[in-house]
A and B are shown apart, each in its own frame.
Chain A
Amino acid sequence: MPEVPVKLTAKDFRSDQEVRWCPGCGDFAILSAIQSFMPELGIARENITFVSGIGCSSRFPYYLNTYGMHSIHGRAPAIATGLAVSRPDLSVWVVSGDGDALSIGGNHLIHALRRNVNLKILLFNNRIYGLTKGQCSPTSEFGKVTKSTPVGSRDTPFNPIALALGAEASFVARTVDSDRKHLHSVLRAAAAHQGSAFIEIYQNCAIFNDGAFDVLKDPASRDSVLVRLEHGKPITFGASGEKCVVREPRGFGLEVADTANVPRSEIIVHDETVEGPAYAFTLSRLSDSDLSNTPIGVFRRVGRPTYESMVAEQNASARAGNANATPDELLSELLHSGNTWTLG
């Protein structure tokens, strides 16, 4: 990818469109964080494309002065796959929401992840349908009362991190809309990753699910519930690190323990690069949808060839020996290959 000739700033990534989200929407914070992060990529604006589906979050591309497509509900990963495979020179980002990515578009998400297409997939999770005015989503808590579930939802929610891991994602992370520093750190790691990067961003919907993630943001509570994952460091949390993550005595999972009661050597040291997905999966299950013990940061980051690089390799090897052929010569070769006969 070509170097950027001039140093860009956040302002360069603002489009001329008026931003139309509700006051207090978490999308503002994410937009601003991404606009301020983009210059760090060192990629010229024209080589960046944002593709979105439908929903509040999917208005995102309109507000970024890059190439962009606001597509149809759930299909952004499929469209972005076609773009990324045919244009591996581009930096392709997908912006989606919990309904878009996990409900109507669930199939495309899991297949993009298992193929390891070089897409940076941002899932804005507000646990509600906002644009359609407040129905429960596939990440809404069990029993949630919404317009479509007046006496409580009977649907068990998805855990998006666990889902992505089950779909063979090579990079899986979670962050929070209001924590710009953390958001930037996760975006940085995702951008550096070759292959699908899946980032769940907890995002506040001020109108239909306000305060859904307050427990993770309130200075009074956040330290006791946020588990900040840092590669190579023991997983402890709480105001003074009084809680930690250890192996379950029985079974294959992880659990939270009091740091004081555990030998230092038994505290799990976070390793994003563990080859098998089981470790990251058990980490993702530390929190329930009540947000107790919520890990944020990079769960998994493993190297695997990208889909488009392997496709390009097959194409290049098929084209070996015809580098100088003109299109018409190639066409002639194609037409005359195999069984032909000549009359007259």
Chain B
Amino acid sequence: MAKQIQHLDRVAIRFAGDSGDGMQLTGDRFASETAILGNDLSTLPNYPAEIRAPSGSLHGVSSFQVHFAAHDVLTPGDSPDVLVAMNPAALRANIADLPPNAEIIVNTDEFTPRNLEKVGYTSNPLENDSLDGYTVHRVPLTTATIAALADLDVSKKDAERAKNMFALGLLSWMYSRSTEGTVEFLKQKFAKKPKLAAANVAAFQAGWNYGETTEDFAVRYEVKPAQLAPGTYRSVNGNTALAYGLAAAGLRAHLPVFLGAYPITPASEILHELSAFKRFGVTTFQAEDEIAAVGSALGASYGGGLGVTSTSGPGLALKTETLGLAVMLELPLVVVNVQRAGPSTGLPTKTEQSDLNIALFGRHGEAPLAVIAARSPADCFYAAVEAARIALTYRMPVILLSDGYLANGSEPWLLPDPADLPDLQVEFATEPNGPDGKFLPYLHDPHTLARPWAVPGTPGLEHRVGGLEKADGTGAVSYVPADHDLMMRLRAARVEAIDVPDLEVEDPSGDARVLVLGWGSTYGPIGAACRKLRERGVSIAQAHLRHIAPMPKNVGAVLAGYDRVVIPEMNLGQLAHVVRERYLVDTVSYNKVNGQPFTSAELETVLEEVVRNA
């Protein structure tokens, strides 16, 4: 029978199942085909903190959401329009996120009394009225897969395991995705096990055919390609993009990159990625602890490389003493903090923006340094390049803030032309710079306030650096009160001397009276909320900070141009505190600290209320 084709502007699909069901792979494949089709998209995985949670349990549910559209996409989607639930746990764990009328595709085979009981269902939701109001497709995914593979030489277990590909085939049919890419992918993935390759391909095709032939699926959807810039793309999550950015910075600086890191969630992937970039001038060192990680990076910078350390909140706390030394030594250092929900161990796999305070202020003495933040997964690349630019040009530690939401979320990234990235080459000191032929290691450049970078191995410039206070110019240890006073003020001035671009404001109507100011990963949900408000004729201006220390020079003037400034943050008001203190603006905070990113819908409501009351 002919299927009806319905055109959609955007869709969010969530694949959910047991940890062992291969949902990440399934979602990732769907996202890849979607990207190649030219839709813009954003994805977000959600997996349990436990490595192997008990099968069929609620906390063992793993999911992957993909949001794709015929226009540009800013977030992975607030709530899924379609849920694929591979078992009762997946249904139970995700049902609350579904809007009314959402489509649910369930694997009926797994709805056994035992599995229902495991997750606390007292009656089968497929048989009572609890799913009224949703469009439920009951598919015997497991038995259909086994039946489809009956003629193949694979064990029943292997056949069962291919059920995720059956689901992928069905969804690929529903949303008119092409099949060639996935077939090719499966052949390559199982190149050494041709029987498994054949089984997975067969399951995938059976899923497609199931949609095509079963009356339950009457409608097929199409989402037209977005108007994306032409060029070569790849899919990146924040951690991957950050690793690419760090390697790119080293290549643009013609310097080796040295990463010292200690494993920590959710930052470890940066270590993994960079450890595979030896070919591109990157050396990685898995240190004995967080302190050694930053220490070794500082040692590498002292030796004339780009020293980098990557971590998450608890690790940053351990590194703070070394950051104080780096401030004193005035050497380049990039510190990546992929924030997670704290304090202490907190919620290691959940996201938060609660490390702004420690980044800005978390050192003893006054030890100012540069702080910047990334706003989207792909933006992590550019944020890393910018962190390196500041570190190398101004010879100081830079903290780059990412977070769990950016680290795990993926989006297509239009690859830049290397020549379009900033030239980060530095000049090492080679000659004495003092009046009497002496070398003055702390003679500061009048514009950048950077001191010469004289690396060991340079004849005639032998000098000693250290954590003791020093005299300006000579760098000799000094306990003279005036020297300390001068150096304290100089270190603060060094941060303010960093040249950063002005804060840009997006205010398409030009008559907004309310500005929403954000930083970091809230860019997507804030942008999506503003877009929805504007579609409804509500004027609102949006500005997003990349540089937090130093602030762009025009921030005060920008804020003064609005009746109300709203600051949404995934913390209890850390940026708001800084802005209120610095600019004496009575900001309105909206805070969320439940480990989850903002949804654009909640921000839309909050912002509209502020606009109405402004």
User: B321 — which chain A residues lie within 8 A by C-beta?
Assistant: 72
In the complex, whether B38 has a CB less than 8 A from a CB of chain A is yes
Q: Is the CB of A339 within 8 A of B32?
A: yes
Q: How far is the CA of A68 from the CA of B329 in the complex (A)?
A: 12
In the complex, whether B285 has a CB less than 8 A from a CB of chain A is yes
Q: How far is the CA of A68 from the CA of B466 in the complex (A)?
A: 8
Nearest CB in chain A: distance from B248 CB, A: 6
User: A87 — which chain B residues lie within 8 A by C-beta?
Assistant: 303-304, 455-457
User: B462 — which chain A residues lie within 8 A by C-beta?
Assistant: 45-46, 65-67
User: B251 — which chain A residues lie within 8 A by C-beta?
Assistant: 327-328, 330-331, 334
In the complex, whether B557 has a CB less than 8 A from a CB of chain A is no
Interface 9-mer from B128-136, B224-232, B559-567: B224-232
User: B416 — which chain A residues lie within 8 A by C-beta?
Assistant: 335
Nearest CB in chain A: distance from B418 CB, A: 4
Q: How far is the CA of A48 from the CA of B38 in the complex (A)?
A: 57
In the complex, whether A285 has a CB less than 8 A from a CB of chain B is no
User: A66 — which chain B residues lie within 8 A by C-beta?
Assistant: 462
In the complex, whether B305 has a CB less than 8 A from a CB of chain A is yes
Nearest CB in chain B: distance from A153 CB, A: 27
Interface 9-mer from B11-19, B114-122, B293-301, B398-406: B293-301
> For window 31-63 of chain A, which residues contact chain B by CB distance below 8 Å?
44-49, 51, 54, 61-62
In the complex, whether A80 has a CB less than 8 A from a CB of chain B is yes
Nearest CB in chain B: distance from A305 CB, A: 16
Nearest CB in chain A: distance from B373 CB, A: 23
In the complex, whether A240 has a CB less than 8 A from a CB of chain B is no
- Interface of chain B, main secondary structure: mixed
Q: Is the CB of B295 within 8 A of A341?
A: no
A79-112 vs B, CB cutoff 8 Å, 1 = contact: the mask equals 1111111110110000000000000000110010
Q: Nearest B residue to A87 by beta-carbon distance?
A: B303
B528-565 vs A, CB cutoff 8 Å, 1 = contact: the mask equals 00000000000000000000000000000000000000
A1-32 vs B, CB cutoff 8 Å, 1 = contact: the mask equals 00000000000000101000000000000000
Q: Is the CB of A46 within 8 A of B300?
A: no
Q: Is the CB of B457 within 8 A of A82?
A: no
The verdict on A85 contacting B233 (CB below 8 Å), with A61-B466, A68-B465, A78-B296 known, is: no
Q: Is the CB of A311 within 8 A of B295?
A: no
In the complex, whether B325 has a CB less than 8 A from a CB of chain A is yes
User: A68 — which chain B residues lie within 8 A by C-beta?
Assistant: 463-466
Q: How far is the CA of A71 from the CA of B18 in the complex (A)?
A: 50
Q: How far is the CA of A342 from the CA of B463 in the complex (A)?
A: 52
> For window 403-427 of chain B, which residues contact chain A by CB distance below 8 Å?
415-416, 418-419, 421
In the complex, whether A332 has a CB less than 8 A from a CB of chain B is yes
In the complex, whether B137 has a CB less than 8 A from a CB of chain A is no
B429-472 vs A, CB cutoff 8 Å, 1 = contact: the mask equals 00000000000000000000000000111111111111110000
Q: Is the CB of B461 within 8 A of A62?
A: no
Q: Is the CB of B476 within 8 A of A17?
A: yes
User: B421 — which chain A residues lie within 8 A by C-beta?
Assistant: 331
Q: Is the CB of B302 within 8 A of A62?
A: no
User: B297 — which chain A residues lie within 8 A by C-beta?
Assistant: 82
User: B322 — which chain A residues lie within 8 A by C-beta?
Assistant: 72, 75
Nearest CB in chain B: distance from A73 CB, A: 8
Q: How far is the CA of A75 from the CA of B460 in the complex (A)?
A: 27
Q: How far is the CA of A70 from the CA of B277 in the complex (A)?
A: 32
Q: How far is the CA of A87 from the CA of B255 in the complex (A)?
A: 12
Q: Is the CB of B457 within 8 A of A90?
A: yes
Q: Is the CB of B295 within 8 A of A86?
A: no
Q: Is the CB of B466 within 8 A of A81?
A: no
Q: Is the CB of A86 within 8 A of B305?
A: yes
B209-220 vs A, CB cutoff 8 Å, 1 = contact: the mask equals 000000000000
> For window 276-319 of chain B, which residues contact chain A by CB distance below 8 Å?
277-281, 283, 285, 287-289, 291-292, 295-300, 302-305, 307
Q: Is the CB of B278 within 8 A of A314?
A: yes
Q: Is the CB of A111 within 8 A of B465?
A: no
Interface 9-mer from A123-131, A141-149, A230-238, A315-323: A315-323
Q: Is the CB of A86 within 8 A of B258?
A: yes
The listed residue with most A CB atoms (<10 A of its CB), out of B307, B462, B463, B464, is B464
Q: How many residues of A contact B (CB 8 A)?
A: 59
Q: Is the CB of A71 within 8 A of B230?
A: no
Q: Is the CB of B234 within 8 A of A338?
A: yes
The listed residue with most A CB atoms (<10 A of its CB), out of B35, B303, B415, is B303
The verdict on A78 contacting B235 (CB below 8 Å), with A332-B418, A344-B229 known, is: no
User: B288 — which chain A residues lie within 8 A by C-beta?
Assistant: 78, 107-108, 111
In the complex, whether A340 has a CB less than 8 A from a CB of chain B is yes
In the complex, whether A69 has a CB less than 8 A from a CB of chain B is yes
User: A338 — which chain B residues lie within 8 A by C-beta?
Assistant: 234
Nearest CB in chain B: distance from A202 CB, A: 26
In the complex, whether A336 has a CB less than 8 A from a CB of chain B is yes
In the complex, whether A343 has a CB less than 8 A from a CB of chain B is yes
Q: How far is the CA of A323 from the CA of B462 in the complex (A)?
A: 32
User: A79 — which chain B residues lie within 8 A by C-beta?
Assistant: 295-296, 298-299, 302
Q: Is the CB of B254 within 8 A of A111?
A: no
In the complex, whether B183 has a CB less than 8 A from a CB of chain A is no
Q: How far is the CA of A69 from the CA of B456 in the complex (A)?
A: 11
Q: Is the CB of A83 within 8 A of B303?
A: yes
Q: Is the CB of A69 within 8 A of B296?
A: no
Q: Is the CB of B292 within 8 A of A343?
A: no
Q: Is the CB of B247 within 8 A of A334?
A: yes
Nearest CB in chain B: distance from A306 CB, A: 14
Q: Nearest A residue to B35 by beta-carbon distance?
A: A341
Nearest CB in chain A: distance from B241 CB, A: 11
Q: Is the CB of A335 within 8 A of B415?
A: yes
Partner of A85, one of B32, B38, B254, B285: B285
> For window 227-276 of chain A, which residues contact chain B by CB distance below 8 Å?
none
The verdict on A69 contacting B464 (CB below 8 Å), with A85-B296, A341-B36 known, is: yes
Q: Is the CB of B244 within 8 A of A334?
A: yes
Nearest CB in chain A: distance from B244 CB, A: 7
Q: How far is the CA of A9 from the CA of B418 in the complex (A)?
A: 50
Q: Is the CB of A315 within 8 A of B278?
A: yes
User: B230 — which chain A residues lie within 8 A by C-beta?
Assistant: 342-344
Q: Nearest A residue to B235 by beta-carbon distance?
A: A339
Q: Nearest A residue to B248 by beta-carbon distance?
A: A331
User: A49 — which chain B residues lie within 8 A by C-beta?
Assistant: 456
Q: Is the CB of B458 within 8 A of A69?
A: no
The listed residue with most B CB atoms (<10 A of its CB), out of A86, A333, A334, is A86
Q: How far is the CA of A68 from the CA of B279 in the complex (A)?
A: 31
In the complex, whether B477 has a CB less than 8 A from a CB of chain A is yes
Q: Is the CB of B296 within 8 A of A335?
A: no
Nearest CB in chain A: distance from B385 CB, A: 11
Q: Is the CB of A335 within 8 A of B418?
A: yes
User: B457 — which chain A residues lie within 8 A by C-beta?
Assistant: 46-47, 87, 89-90
Nearest CB in chain B: distance from A82 CB, A: 3
Q: How far is the CA of A311 from the CA of B256 in the complex (A)?
A: 13
Nearest CB in chain B: distance from A46 CB, A: 5
User: A108 — which chain B residues lie within 8 A by C-beta?
Assistant: 288, 291-292, 295
Q: Is the CB of A72 within 8 A of B463?
A: no
User: A82 — which chain B residues lie within 8 A by C-beta?
Assistant: 258, 260, 285, 295-300, 302-303, 307
A-B contact pairs, 21 of them (CB 8 A): A46-B460, A68-B466, A69-B466, A70-B465, A71-B325, A71-B467, A72-B321, A78-B299, A79-B295, A81-B292, A81-B296, A83-B299, A85-B283, A90-B457, A108-B288, A327-B281, A331-B421, A334-B279, A334-B280, A339-B235, A344-B228
> Chain B residues in contact with chain A, CB under 8 A?
32, 35-36, 38, 225, 228-235, 244, 247-248, 251-252, 254, 256, 258, 260, 277-281, 283, 285, 287-289, 291-292, 295-300, 302-305, 307, 321-322, 324-325, 329, 415-416, 418-419, 421, 455-468, 476-477
Top 5 A-B residue pairs of the complex, sorted by shortest distance between their CB atoms: A344-B230, A82-B299, A70-B466, A82-B296, A78-B295
Q: A72-B322, A85-B283, A334-B279 are in contact. List 16 more A-B contacts (CB 8 A).
A: A47-B456, A51-B299, A65-B462, A72-B325, A78-B291, A79-B298, A81-B299, A82-B297, A84-B299, A87-B303, A315-B278, A330-B281, A335-B234, A339-B235, A341-B35, A343-B231
